Structure 1
Amino acid sequence: MIEAIGLTKRYGNTVAVRNLSFTVKPGKVTGFLGPNGAGKSTTMRMALGLDNPTSGEVRIDGEKYRDLKYPLRKIGALVDPKWVHPNRSARAHLAWMARSNGIPGRRIDEVLDTVGLNSVAGKNVGGFSLGMSQRLGIAGALLGDPEILMFDEPVNGLDPEGILWIRTLMHRLADEGRTVFVSSHLLSEMALTATELVVIGRGELISQCSTTEFVARASDNSVRVRGPHLPQLRRLLAGTGARIDDFSDDAGAALIVSGMDSERIGEAAAANGLVLHELSPQRGSLEQAFMQLTGDSVQYQSDLDGNAPDRVLATGNN
């Protein structure tokens, strides 16, 4: 489990993280979301002891990172895939990490096989592509077989096959009862990967809840209705205060009813003898919910002519 408790980080006059508290529990993939400049990477760096908080703390299963005797056995992390010395081979890099934490050498081949780098294990990492570097970083995170894993933008540089692979890997790790905490700007991918979310903006907590709850909270309650009596249904529902919009596609005409759930619509239609062929709740997307709930936390917005920066870094940290 990861616990952030009243976490604050200042860089001069800039507050990157402000009184941030949240908990990441085992057995789930928890997504860490926020606009650029929200403080995600800074928070992760403080969790790993790479940056010192101005106040507050992060606990890793109840301990600070610096107090862990063999940290790689407790928490594995991918923060910067390019930090490896370019003249080291992938195997040598992992061997150095293993020796520093008393990890058996046989584990090196196991993680190289897991991330698909066995064939290039003897090559210098300076020649690796970003995708290969990401895989090596993930191998390093897995090396100590830790209970807790933290990934900062793990799908950067991966092709679609690689993205599917890392998604499947994170689900498997969570299913094994591990704590999995992952940040990403790819909201469509997070919708498929994360069951829980921690969402921040300008260094402060906006929401911590399930992905389903986050989307539902920000989405209109709308239902798509089809049937042979749409004009009558429109008149019937008009007096309820619901918003009713016309919709048409290859399947034919429909009504989109907002502000009234499918049960109430179905009951009203049945009570008035109106036949329905479709009654489908419409679920919003994670991207729509994210834009709605974090809009006030974005420092820069694009203008209508596209001349202003769109969601650029508000500080040097994201």
Structure 2
Amino acid sequence: MIEVRGLTKTFGPTKAVDDLTFTVKPGIVTGFLGPNGAGKSTTMRMILGLDRPTSGTALIDGQAYHDLKQPLRTVGALLDAKWVHPNRSAKAHLQWMAASNGIPSSRVDEVLRLVGLTEVAGKKAGGFSLGMSQRLGLAGALLGDPKVLLFDEPVNGLDPEGIVWIRKFMQRLAAEGRTVLVSSHLLSEMALTAEHLVVIGRGRLISDTTVKEFVDRSSESTVRVRSPQLDALRSVLTSHGLTVREDGHAASAAAALVVLDSTTDAIGQIAGSNGIVLHELASQQGSLEDAFMKLTGDDVQYHAAGVEEVMGGAL
């Protein structure tokens, strides 16, 4: 288990992490989300003892990282896939890590096989692609068979097959009773991987809840309805106090309406009682991406200019 209590980190006048408190429990994958500059990497570095907190504590199974006798046997981490001496082979890199924590050298071959790097074990890590480096980083995190694992953007550089592989891999680790904390900017992938979310913005906690609760609370649930009597349908729905808008994604040949804060049952009843024919009636649940953008919009530190602004209005 990871326990973060009142964690704060300042760099000069800037608060990178601001009184952050949350717990990461074993048995599930916990996603760690936030806009760029939110403080995710700094928080992970403080959990691992790489940065000293200005105040607050971060404990791993009840202990600070610097108090662990053989830390790789308790916690494994992948924060920077390229943190490897470029002239060392993958196997040599893992061997010195194993030796530093009293881990049998036989474990090196085991983790290389687990991450699919057995065939390139003797090759220099400096020649690895980003995807291969990510796999080597995973091998290092697993070396001590730890109960706690932290991954910062672990799918960077992986192809679609590799992304699916690491998703199932992390879920399997959690199913074994391990504590798994993973940050990622691929929200669609996180929606498939994580069960719980810790969301921060500008170093502060925004949400600490399940993925389902986060999406349900923070995104917009709508109903899409299509009818050959669209004007009549719009009129009757608005007369019942419902908020109705055009479906901007619908082609003109299949014009549809989107109804906010209602249900398919309620809309079907209204249409039926007014003799209106429906060709489509479907509920639409918001996505993790929608919920994330809505909840963190005010905490985005760096905003990109719109296309029109970049092109000088030429479009």
What's the TM-score once normalised by structure 1's chain length? 0.89
- Deviation string, structure 1 residues 38-60 (Cα, Å, up to 9, x no partner): 11100000000111101001111
Change (3 A) 1:270 1:64: farther
* 2:297 counterpart (292, 295, 298): 295
Report if the CA contact (8 A) 2:20-2:203 is conserved.
Answer: yes
Match in the other structure for 1:313: none
Matched, 1:147 2:147: yes
Secondary structure of 1:32's partner?
Answer: strand
- Cross-structure match for 2:91: 91
Question: Separation in 1 of the partners of 2:252 and 2:95?
Answer: 59
**Which residue of 1 is the match for residue 193 of structure 2?**
193
Aligned partner of 1:284 in structure 2 is 286
Distance 1:103 1:285 in 2: 43
Question: 1:47 corresponds to which residue?
Answer: 47
Deviation per CA, 1:94-139: give whole Å up to 9, x if none. 1111122222222211110111110111112122222111110000
Shift of 1:300: 2.8
Q: How many Å separate the matches in 1 of 2:296 and 2:93?
A: 39
Question: Using a 3 Å threshold, how does the CA distance of structure 1 residues 253 and 296 change in structure 2: closer, same or farther?
Answer: closer
- Structure 1, unaligned stretches of length 5 or more? 309-318
Cα shift at 1:245 = 2.7
Structure 1 range deviating more: 12-21 or 95-104: 95-104
Shift of 1:240: 2.7
SS of residue in 2 equivalent to 1:284: coil
- Structure 1 runs, 4 residues or longer, greater than 6 Å off: none
State how far apart, in whole Å, the 2-side matches of 1:302 and 1:255 are: 31
Aligned to 1:207: 207
Per the alignment, residue 76 of structure 1 pairs with: 76
- What residue number does 2:256 align with? 254
Worse overlay, 71-80 or 278-287: 278-287
Return the letter of the residue paired with 2:65.
Y
Q: More deviation in 233-242 or 244-253? A: 244-253
Question: Counterpart of 1:17 in 2: which secondary structure?
Answer: strand
2:223 corresponding residue in structure 1: 223
Shift of 1:69: 2.0
Q: Tell me which moved more, 211-220 or 60-69.
A: 211-220
Give the residue type in structure 2 aligned to 1:123: K
Letter in 1 for 2:108: I
Q: Tell me the secondary structure at the aligned position of residue 217 of structure 1.
A: helix
- The equivalent residue for 1:34 is 34
Which shows bigger deviation, 153-162 or 277-286? 277-286
Residue number in structure 2 paired with 1:264: 266
Match of 2:128 in 1: 128
Identical-pair percentage = 66
Deviation at 1:275, TM superposition (A): 5.8
User: For residues 238 and 250 of structure 1, what CA distance do their matches in structure 2 show?
Assistant: 22
Cα deviation for residue 251 of structure 1 reads 9.0
State the distance in 2 between where 1:38 and 1:246 align.
35
Q: TM-score, normalised by structure 2?
A: 0.89
The total of aligned residue pairs comes to: 308
Question: CA offset at residue 274 of structure 1?
Answer: 5.5
Give the structure 2 partner of residue 113 of structure 1.
Answer: 113
Q: Would you say the 8 A contact 1:221–1:261 is kept in 2?
A: no
**1:232 Cα offset (Å):** 4.8
Per-residue deviation, 1:285: 2.3
Please name the residue that 2:9 is paired with: 9
CA separation in 1, counterparts of 2:212 and 2:309?
32
Quick check: 125-134 or 248-257, which moved more? 248-257
- Tell whether the 8 Å contact from 2:36 to 2:302 is kept in structure 1 after alignment: no
Distance 2:73 2:266 in 1: 53
Whether the 8 Å contact between 2:59 and 2:65 is mirrored in structure 1 is yes
SS of the equivalent of 2:256 reads strand
Q: Which runs of 5+ in 2 are unaligned?
A: none
**C-alpha contact 2:221 2:261 (8 A) present in aligned 1:** yes
